[in-house]
A and B are shown apart, each in its own frame.
Chain A
Amino acid sequence: MSTSGASVAGALALEPEAGGGVEGASAGKIGMWMFLATDAMGFAGLLTAYAVLRVHADQWPDPQERLAIAQAAVMTAMLVTSSFTMTMAVRAARAHRATARAVWHTATILLGAGFLGGQVVEYGHLAAGATPMRLGTDLFASTFYAVTGYHGLHVLVGVLILLGLLLAPRARARSLEVAAIFWHFVDLAWIPIFSFVYLLPVS
Chain B
Amino acid sequence: MTADEDVLSSTISVPKPGRGGRLVLGLAGLLVLTALEVLVVGLPVDRTARITALVGLAMAKTLVVLVAFMGIGRQSRLLRLALLAPLLLAPAFAVALMLDTAFRVTQR
Question: CA A61 – CA B29 in complex, angstroms?
Answer: 31
**Chain B residues whose CB sits within 8 angstroms of the CB of A55 once the complex forms:** 97, 101
Residue on A nearest B93 in the bound complex, by CB? A48
B92 at the A/B interface (Cβ < 8 Å)? no
Query: B58 touching A19 by the CB < 8 A rule?
Result: no
Residue on A nearest B101 in the bound complex, by CB? A55
**Chain B residues whose CB sits within 8 angstroms of the CB of A25 once the complex forms:** 11, 75-76, 79
Question: CA A195 – CA B52 in complex, angstroms?
Answer: 11
Interface contacts (Cβ under 8 Å), in number, total 110
Residue on B nearest A47 in the bound complex, by CB? B90
Residue on A nearest B40 in the bound complex, by CB? A199
From A51, A76, A196, A200, give the contact of B34 (CB < 8 A): A76
**Interface size of A by Cβ–Cβ distance < 8 Å?**
48
Q: Residues of B with Cβ closer than 8 Å to A?
A: 4, 7-8, 10-12, 14-15, 17, 20, 23-24, 26-27, 30-31, 34-35, 37-38, 40-41, 47, 50-51, 54-55, 57-58, 61-62, 65-66, 69-70, 75-76, 78-79, 82, 86, 97, 101
